[in-house]
Amino acid sequence: MNGVVVLCRRELVRFLRQPTRLVGSLAQPLLFWLFMGSGFSFSFNAFSTEITYLQYFYPGIVLMLLLFAAIFSTITLIEDRTAGFLQGVLVAPISRLSMVLGKLLGGTFIALIQACIFLFFAPFAGIELALGRAINLLFLFFLVGLGFTGLGFIIAWVVDSTAGYHAIMSVVLIPLWLLSGALFPPEDSAAWLHWVIAFNPVSYGMTAIRYAFYEPLSSLAVNPDFLFALLIALIWTTCTTVGSVLIVSRRPGG
Amino acid sequence: MASQVIIGISKLSHTYPGTRKSPPKEALKKISLDINAGEMVAFLGPNGSGKSTLLSILTTSLRPTCGSVRIGDFDLVRNPHAARRNLGVVFQNPALDAKMKVSENLKASGLLYGIPRKQLKHRIESILREMDLCEWRDAAVETLSGGLARRVELAKALLPLPRLLILDEPTSGLDPVARQEFWGTIESLRSRNSLTVLVSTHLLDEAEGCDRVAILDRGNLLAFDRPGRLQCQVGSEVLSIEGDDLENLRDELREFLHLEGQLVDSALRLTLPDSISLDELRKRFKNRFKKLTLSHPSLDDVFVHFTGKHLSSEEQF
């Protein structure tokens, strides 16, 4: 248990000691939201009169924030390996499970901190943040954040350079976000895209977060779409977490 | 006096699996050796000799293909987790978090080794004093010089009071002054505690300062003894001859004087027996030598004796 706390704490300390990382991780989604939200507003409003694109895109940008937080925290795994810090952890008398959980939880808490700060912009997207909704959202952010961090961990463990990680980020991780319903409603897209989105596990995290933003808490418990999305998100996060532990245990010396 | 064996290595082998492009690589070949408590042992060999593989196995980073290693009462292969509690490791690459302070690095490491928080504070203070690092306690590691950072690495490795300290090319990247300081610290630590130290190195002067030296080449353990005794095996004096047509000279020396020479790089090296004097050699092969060097055998001569090549000139794989 000590190992989990020590490694998780290290992630947070490193994050807080690099102010540019904190500013960058918040400024990027904010600028994306404002520029793209305003830019697509007119075309989007032609299809939907219920909400503006800025409102629609807000949960999507939170998902992007969670994704990038996971990317930036798991890419440090490659740095740790190159710089040697990981060697020291691997010869310490802690289990591989503690090592993985420390890294994953550290990355997830960083994502959670960023997402919490971003929640202050929710009123500008026409979302009222009551306590119950905020707590529910934090749970979902944790769940989806952990899923992304687990996926990032697996990639970082397999790939041996940051350049390789960036390549996978561009062709795998960012498309997972693009095709999750974060940018455009799946129901209005082409049929093939519809299928891709349906098979993308990240779409279900997106759907759950979107419902949690817009629907009252009382109706979520009886909303089958939300509950199904939550279930798939849970399964996905479990898979990436277990996958991270397995891939590390495969390493000789375990 | 019989010493207590702290590390028992028996028939240790490791083969790296091949890929589609490269065949399997046998990095260690049935190595057996015992190391006594309190000894400082150097693993000496060029790149590809197997010393890094051996150290990876001893630090539990790599599971060997076959063979056994005991550290104290623990079987390192079967129970690496328990064996890790006895190990302090200083890696060739820095294993500190550069963004964190010296004290934070030590605290994190101490907690990873399961030192109770109450004891840890006291232990950190004591190791900072011992290693003369008190004034750097709150400095971020990235602001320290290479020599100081190595000392922090050492402090981190010694914090859990290991029985065995493993140093993997510990002075690589350090300037001569910092290297000397590092070894001075190790010596003073050894004089105060009965610490067993294993060092992997390709530097001869570092190996000469150890109690015993294990010479490795291409996965084989060629010799394991005290530096002085290894040097005696080569002979009392080593003659190095430089000149033209050394191959013919070697054959003539063999034929007429029964002297077995080795052509190493651009010199002919041979051990001179007491029955043949240098003057006799000079008279007999007049004008055939450009340069003659007579010296007491060094560990490099020992390495040449066993492998037929210089330690420094060898770059394999």
Model ipTM over 0.85: no
Determine the length of chain B.
317
pLDDT class for B11, splitting at 50, 70, 90? very high
Cα B288–Cα B289–Cα B295 angle in degrees, nearest 5: 145
- Sorted by sequence, the CB contacts under 8 Å of residue A111 that are 6+ apart come out as A65, A66, A69, A70, A73, A141, A145, A148, A149
By C-alpha distance, which of B155, B152, B156, B134 is closest to B144? B152
Least CA distance to B112: which residue of chain A? A3
CB of A10 less than 8 A from some CB of B: yes
> For position B157, what pLDDT does the model report?
92
Shortest distance between the Cα of B91 and any Cα of chain A, in A, equals 8
Report CB contact under 8 Å: A253, B62: yes
Report CB contact under 8 Å: A83, B98: yes
Least CA distance to A86: which residue of chain B? B95
Look at the domain B236-296 and name its fold. Answer: Alpha-Beta Plaits (3.30.70)
pLDDT tens readout for residues B101-144: 999 999 999 999 989 988 999 999 999 998 888 999 999 999 99
pLDDT tens readout for residues A196-249: 888 999 999 999 999 998 888 888 888 899 999 999 999 999 999 999 999 988
pLDDT tens readout for residues A80-134: 877 778 888 888 998 889 999 999 999 999 999 999 998 988 888 888 888 888 8
pLDDT tens readout for residues A6-65: 999 999 998 888 888 888 888 888 888 888 877 777 677 666 667 788 888 889 999 999
Report CB contact under 8 Å: B61, A87: yes
Report CB contact under 8 Å: B100, A14: yes
Report CB contact under 8 Å: B63, A5: no
pLDDT class for B314, splitting at 50, 70, 90? very low
> For position B315, what pLDDT does the model report?
42
CB of B87 less than 8 A from some CB of A: yes
> For position B152, what pLDDT does the model report?
92
> For position A253, what pLDDT does the model report?
37
> For position B229, what pLDDT does the model report?
86
Selected for mutation to probe chain A from B93, B102, B138 (highest A CB count within 10 Å) is: B93
Average of per-residue pLDDT across A154-163: 90
Kindly tell me the number of DSSP H helices and DSSP E strands found in chain A.
Answer: 13, 0
> For position A32, what pLDDT does the model report?
86
Look at the domain B5-17+24-226 and name its fold. Answer: Rossmann fold (3.40.50)
Please list every residue in chain A whose beta carbon sits closer than 8 Å to the beta carbon of residue B89.
87-88, 91
Q: What mean pLDDT, rounded, does chain B reach?
A: 85
pLDDT tens readout for residues B247-272: 888 888 888 777 778 887 778 888 77
pTM as predicted: 0.81
CB of B32 less than 8 A from some CB of A: no
- Is the confidence at residue B32, as pLDDT, over 90? yes
pLDDT tens readout for residues B190-211: 887 778 999 998 888 888 889 9
> For position B317, what pLDDT does the model report?
35
Shortest distance between the Cα of B84 and any Cα of chain A, in A, equals 5
> Domain residue spans in chain B?
5-17+24-226, 236-296
Nearest to B94 among A9, A83, A254 (CB): A83
Structure tokens at B189: 């630590």
Average of per-residue pLDDT across B5-17: 91
- Is the confidence at residue B3, as pLDDT, over 80? no
Structure tokens at B246: 């050394």
Please list every residue in chain B whose beta carbon sits closer than 8 Å to the beta carbon of residue A5.
111
Q: Which of residues 67-86 of A touch B (CB under 8 A)?
A: 82-85
